[in-house]
Structure 1
Amino acid sequence: MLNITNNKLHEKVNLLQYEAGKKVFNERNQKYFNRFLIAFGLILIIILFLPWTQTVAGKGYVTTLKPNQRPQTIQSPIPGRIEKWYVNEGDFVEEGDTILHISEVKNEYFDPQLVDRTGDQIKVKESSQNSYQNKIQFLTNQIGAIQQEKRLKIDQAKNKLQQSRLKFRSDSIDLEAAKTNLDIAERQFERAKTLNEEGLKSTTDLENSRLKLQEAQAKRVAQENKVLAARNEIINSQIELNRIEAEYGEKISKAQSDRSSAESALYQTQADISKLETSYANYDTRRGLYYIKAPQAGYINKAIKAGIGESFKEGEPLVGIMPSDYDIAVETFVAPIDMPLLHVGEEVRVQFDGWPAIVFSGWPNNSYGTYAAEIVAIENFISDNGKYRVLLAPKAEDHNWPEDIKIGAGASTLALLEDVPIWYEIWRQLNGFPPNYYSPENAEKTKVSKK
C-alpha cells in the first residue's frame, strides 16, 4: 500500500488488542528471535570458513579407454556388390567370422580363373627365363671356344711369321755369299783375261772363267729373288696374323652381342615375371577380400549397406560393430580458461546421465551417486565445439563404475582442484575470477618421471 497520508496508523489503533499483535510484539518472542538471528549469523560465519574444493565442470559422454575398443565401421578396400549376408543386426561375432560376401564390379576382374591364368603366365615366363639362361651359357661357352681357337691360330700365325723371318735371314745370308762368289768370279775372270792377253793362259781357261762368272751372276739374281720371296712371306704372315685377329674379333663380338641380347631378354623376362608375380599376389589377395570378416569380437550394431546387389565404392562403411571387450572411460570437454588447471593424474568426480545422484560440487566426499575417475590424457588442440577434450579413466582405489552404463551415454564431470574457504569461493564467483592455478604434487612427480 502506498503511504499517501501523514497519519500514523499505530498511533490511532492499538495493535496489542488483537491476538496476532500480542504474539508478534511479545517481548519474549523478540528475545528468542534475536537469539536465533545471532546463532544463524555465527553459524553462517563459521560456514564461510569451512573448506571448499574448487572444481572445473565439464560435459561429455561415455567412451572407451583404447581407440581399438570404440564402435567402428567395417569397410571394404575394394569396390563391389553385396551378394549375401551371414549375420543380422545385434548378432555377436568372433574375430574372423564372415559377415557378408561381395562380388566384383570391375570388368578387368570378372574372369573367375584370373589367378590361375596369371599363374600359368608366370610358369611360361619362367620357362622362357630358363631358355635365355641356357642360351647365355651356351654363348659364353662358344665365346670361350672361339677365344681358345683364336689363341691357337694366332700362335700358328706367329710361328709362320717367325719361320718367314728366319727364312728371310737365311736367304739374305745366301745372297751375301752369292755376292761374294760373284766378286771372286769377276776378279778371276779379269785375271784370266789379262793372262790370256799376255799369252799365259789359254782361251779355254778364259772361257771357263767367263762361265763361272755367269753362273755366279745367275746365282746372285736367283738369291735376290729368294730374298724378295722371303720378304713377301713375312708380309703375308703379318697380313694373316691381322686377318686372324680381325676374323676372330668379329666372331667374338658377334657372340658377345648375341649374349648381350639374350641377357637383355632375360632381364626383361625377369621383370615380366616380377610384374606377373605382383599381379598374382594382388589377385590372390583381392580374391580373399570377397568375404568381409569381423576384425574383432563384438556385436553387429547396424547394417549400413543393407540390400542384396547393392554396389559400393572402396572405403565406404558397410556395417557397424561394437567390440565386446572394452575398458570404459569418459570423454569430457572443458572451457579453454579452465584447461591450464587440469593435470594428468588428477581426480575427477563423474555423474552419469540417468543414474541417481546428489552432488555437492565443493564437498565431493558428501556427494552421492558420483564416481571417482582420474585424468589420463588432455588434448592440446581445441575441438570443434570450442573446448578442450579430456579423457578420464576409472580410479582403481574407488568404487567400480556401474556395469549398466552404455557407450555414448552422457556424463557430467567435476575436476577437483584446490581446497579454499567458502568465503573465498563466493568472492571469486561474484568477481568472475577463474579457479586458482596450481601444480599438484602428483603432476610434478609425473613430469619428473617422464624426464
Structure 2
Amino acid sequence: MTAKQHLDSPASLPEQQRWSMLSPVAYSESSMPTLRLARSSRLARKIAKTLFGLLVVTIVLMVFAPWQQSVTVTGDVLAFSPDQRQQVIQATIKGRIARWGDQIYENARVKKGQVIAEIRDLDESYAARLDLQLMNSRQAVAAAGQQIEANKRALAATETIVESYQLQVSAFETVKRETIAAQDAYIEMAAKKVQGEQQKLVEYQVALPQLQAEYDRMKTLQSENNISLQKLQEVNRKYKEATSKFKGAEFYYGAAQDELSGKKSERTAKVEKAQA
C-alpha cells in the first residue's frame, strides 16, 4: 500500500492517537477535505512572492540610495557656511547717513571695495579735526624718522670713534709690553753688572790680607837686611794697587747697585705711564 492510499484510508483508533496535531498528516487535505476551501490559489501565491521580492529590493535601495525629500515652501534661504551668510554691516562710528552708494538696496549683493553708504558725523568740524590730527601724526612720524636717521649717523660716528680707541688701546698695550720687556732687559743687565762688580770686590777683598801679610813679612826681612829695599817697595806697590783696586771695586759695586735701583724705578715709572 502506498503512502497516499494509506492517508486516504480511514485510520484505526490506535493510529489516530499516535498522530500529533503538529504533524503534516494532521493538515492533509485527504484527512480534512475542508482545507481545500481555504487553500490559496497559485496566482495569489505568485503575486505575493512578486510583492515580497519588490519589497526586499525597495528596502535595499532605500538603504544604499541617498535620502532625498522634495518639499515646496516659501521663505528665506540661509547659507550653511557662516562666511556665505548674509551679514549685517554696522558703522563703527555714530553719525548720519549722507549718501547711499550706487545699486544699494535691501538684501542687495555687494562686492569688496564697493561704497555702501557715506556716514557723516553730527559734528561738522570733526572731519577737519581728524585731518588735522592725521597731518600732525604724519609730521611727528616724519620727525621721528629724521631723528632715527640722525641717531643712526651718530651711532656710526660713535662706532668709528670706539674702533679708533680700540686701535689706540691695542697700540698702547703693544707699547706697554715692549716697554716692560725693554725695562726688564735693562734690569737684568744691571743685575748682571752688580754680580760682576761684586765678584771683583770679593776677589780684591780676599787678596788684600794676603798682600798685607806679604808686605809685613817683607818689611821684617828687610829690617833684618835679608832682602833689598827694592823688593820691599815692589811688594808695597802691589799692596797699594790692590788697595786701590779694592776701593775702585767698592765704588763700582755701589754704582752698579745704584744703577739697578734706578732701572727698577725707571721700569715702574714707565709701566705706570704706559698704563695711564
TM-score computed with the length of structure 2 as normaliser: 0.55
Between the aligned partners of 2:97 and 2:270, the Cα distance in structure 1 is 81
Question: Which residue type is aligned with residue 248 of structure 1?
Answer: A
Tell me the alpha carbon deviations over residues 16-41 of structure 1, each in whole angstroms, 9 at most, x when there is no partner.
Answer: xxxxxxxxxxxxxxxxxxxxxxxxxx
- 1:121 paired with 2:147, answer yes
1:74 maps to what in 2?
A: 92
The percentage of aligned residue pairs carrying the same residue is 19
- 1:190 paired with 2:216, answer yes
Cα distance change of structure 1 residues 239 and 106 upon mapping to structure 2, 3 Å threshold: farther
Cα distance change of structure 1 residues 163 and 74 upon mapping to structure 2, 3 Å threshold: same
Greater helix proportion: 2
Question: Which residue type is aligned with residue 114 of structure 1?
Answer: A
- 1:204 paired with 2:215, answer no
Residue 109 of structure 1 deviates from its aligned partner by 6.3
1:132 maps to what in 2?
A: 158
Q: Is contact 1:160-1:237 (8 Å) kept?
A: yes
Between the aligned partners of 1:234 and 1:95, the Cα distance in structure 2 is 95
In the TM superposition, what are the counterparts of 1:308-347 in structure 2 within 5 Å? Answer: none
| 3-state DSSP of counterpart to 2:91 | strand
Residue 155 of structure 1 deviates from its aligned partner by 0.8
Residue 110 of structure 1 deviates from its aligned partner by 3.1
Between the aligned partners of 1:157 and 1:139, the Cα distance in structure 2 is 26
- 1:88 paired with 2:114, answer no
Alpha carbon RMSD of aligned pairs, Å? 3.5
Between the aligned partners of 2:82 and 2:98, the Cα distance in structure 1 is 26
Q: Is contact 1:193-1:206 (8 Å) kept?
A: yes
Cα distance change of structure 1 residues 220 and 241 upon mapping to structure 2, 3 Å threshold: same
2:180 maps to what in 1?
A: 154
Residue 156 of structure 1 deviates from its aligned partner by 0.6
Question: Which residue type is aligned with residue 149 of structure 1?
Answer: V
Residue 137 of structure 1 deviates from its aligned partner by 0.8
Between the aligned partners of 1:86 and 1:229, the Cα distance in structure 2 is 109
| 3-state DSSP of counterpart to 1:133 | helix
- 1:164 paired with 2:190, answer yes
Between the aligned partners of 1:145 and 1:120, the Cα distance in structure 2 is 37
Q: Is contact 1:168-1:231 (8 Å) kept?
A: yes
2:263 maps to what in 1?
A: 237
Cα distance change of structure 1 residues 108 and 153 upon mapping to structure 2, 3 Å threshold: farther
Cα distance change of structure 1 residues 242 and 97 upon mapping to structure 2, 3 Å threshold: farther
2:204 maps to what in 1?
A: 178
Question: Which residue type is aligned with residue 173 of structure 2?
Answer: Q
Cα distance change of structure 1 residues 86 and 156 upon mapping to structure 2, 3 Å threshold: farther
Q: Is contact 1:189-1:209 (8 Å) kept?
A: yes
1:226 maps to what in 2?
A: 252
1:247 maps to what in 2?
A: 273
Cα distance change of structure 1 residues 107 and 205 upon mapping to structure 2, 3 Å threshold: farther
Ranges in structure 1 where 5+ consecutive residues have no aligned partner: 1-62, 77-81, 251-451
Residue 132 of structure 1 deviates from its aligned partner by 0.5
2:124 maps to what in 1?
A: none
Residue 75 of structure 1 deviates from its aligned partner by 4.5
Between the aligned partners of 1:186 and 1:229, the Cα distance in structure 2 is 27
TM-score computed with the length of structure 1 as normaliser: 0.35
Between the aligned partners of 1:165 and 1:97, the Cα distance in structure 2 is 99
Cα distance change of structure 1 residues 208 and 125 upon mapping to structure 2, 3 Å threshold: same
| 3-state DSSP of counterpart to 2:209 | helix
Residue 124 of structure 1 deviates from its aligned partner by 1.2
Cα distance change of structure 1 residues 181 and 86 upon mapping to structure 2, 3 Å threshold: farther
Residue 142 of structure 1 deviates from its aligned partner by 0.8
Residue 149 of structure 1 deviates from its aligned partner by 0.9
In the TM superposition, what are the counterparts of 1:265-414 in structure 2 within 5 Å? Answer: none
Greater strand proportion: 1
- 1:110 paired with 2:136, answer yes
Residue 248 of structure 1 deviates from its aligned partner by 1.8
Tell me the alpha carbon deviations over residues 254-279 of structure 1, each in whole angstroms, 9 at most, x when there is no partner.
Answer: xxxxxxxxxxxxxxxxxxxxxxxxxx
CA radius of gyration, larger in: 2
Ranges in structure 2 where 5+ consecutive residues have no aligned partner: 1-77, 105-109, 120-126
Q: Which has the higher contact order (CA 8 A, sep 6+)?
A: 1
Q: Is contact 1:104-1:110 (8 Å) kept?
A: no
Residue 172 of structure 1 deviates from its aligned partner by 1.1
Residue 222 of structure 1 deviates from its aligned partner by 1.1
Q: Which sits farther off after the overlay, 155-164 or 65-74?
A: 65-74
Residue 86 of structure 1 deviates from its aligned partner by 10
Between the aligned partners of 1:155 and 1:86, the Cα distance in structure 2 is 90
Cα distance change of structure 1 residues 103 and 223 upon mapping to structure 2, 3 Å threshold: same
Residue 219 of structure 1 deviates from its aligned partner by 0.9
Question: Which residue type is aligned with residue 224 of structure 1?
Answer: E
